[in-house]
Amino acid sequence: EDRDHPGKVFLFGKIKNPQNGQYESCCVIVQNIERVMFVIPKLESADESGRPKSNADKVNDIYFELQKIQKRDYKSIKSWKCKKVTKDYAFELPMAHGQMECLKVKYSAAYPPLSPNLKGESFSHIFGTGVTCLERFIVKKRLMGPCWMRVRNPLSGEARFKNSWCKHELLIEDMSDVISPHQEIDPEDEVTDARCLLTKESPPLTV
């Protein structure tokens, strides 16, 4: 991971040259990886009449409060995307376990993360503030060690701009264009089955 340029991850491996059948070194640079955080609403929240708020109202309150916080304390964050999602929680914090509705916040890693201690009138916790782009990539792609990966829509890095000593260097502008054998695949995606990568023969190990 390039700490000086957040949102960029380097993958090193081998690709098979179809012209000579040999495996050659390759660096795949995945760009534009975004920060993703989950904002958890407070359990007890009431409206002006004292009645408990619905989950939808709680998440809406988070959205509007975060907008105010962003304009006041995080002016460098120029834009972000938010949506309501359902997540499971089963860890040590004193909060309800099981499924819960929360607000998913996503924005460019070029902008700073929100404070892990940030709390508000409508929310109690924010998860994912300290997650690095490399960690997010590994978890999203469900990587559990060396494996074959498929890349789509690669851009070839010109020699004068190369970032590595590998023979081949490819730029990927969207993380979804990197397919691993263990990740969840969208049924409407052109690549509907990545499990075929599990049976692909590994390249020979050279030292």
CA 156 to chain centre: 23
Q: Is the pLDDT of residue 48 over 60?
A: no
Residue 207's pLDDT band, with cuts at 50, 70 and 90, is very low
pLDDT of residue 204: 58
The answer to whether the CB of 150 falls within 8 A of the CB of 179 is yes
Q: Is the pLDDT of residue 87 over 90?
A: no
Contacts by residues 40-45 (CB-CB < 8 Å, ≥ 24 positions apart): 40/89, 40/95, 40/100, 40/102, 40/123, 40/124, 40/125, 40/126, 40/127, 41/100, 41/101, 41/102, 41/103, 41/122, 41/123, 41/124, 42/121, 42/122, 42/123, 42/124, 43/95, 43/96, 43/124, 45/122
pLDDT of residue 96: 72
The answer to whether the CB of 160 falls within 8 A of the CB of 168 is no
Q: Which whole number is the average pLDDT over 67-89? A: 92
The answer to whether the CB of 149 falls within 8 A of the CB of 197 is yes
**Mean of per-residue pLDDT scores for the chain:** 82
pLDDT of residue 184: 65
- The model's pTM is 0.78
pLDDT of residue 50: 55
Q: Which whole number is the average pLDDT over 85-107? A: 84
For residue 81, CA distances in Å to 19, 120, 137 come to 44, 19, 19
pLDDT of residue 91: 79
Q: Is the pLDDT of residue 114 over 70?
A: yes
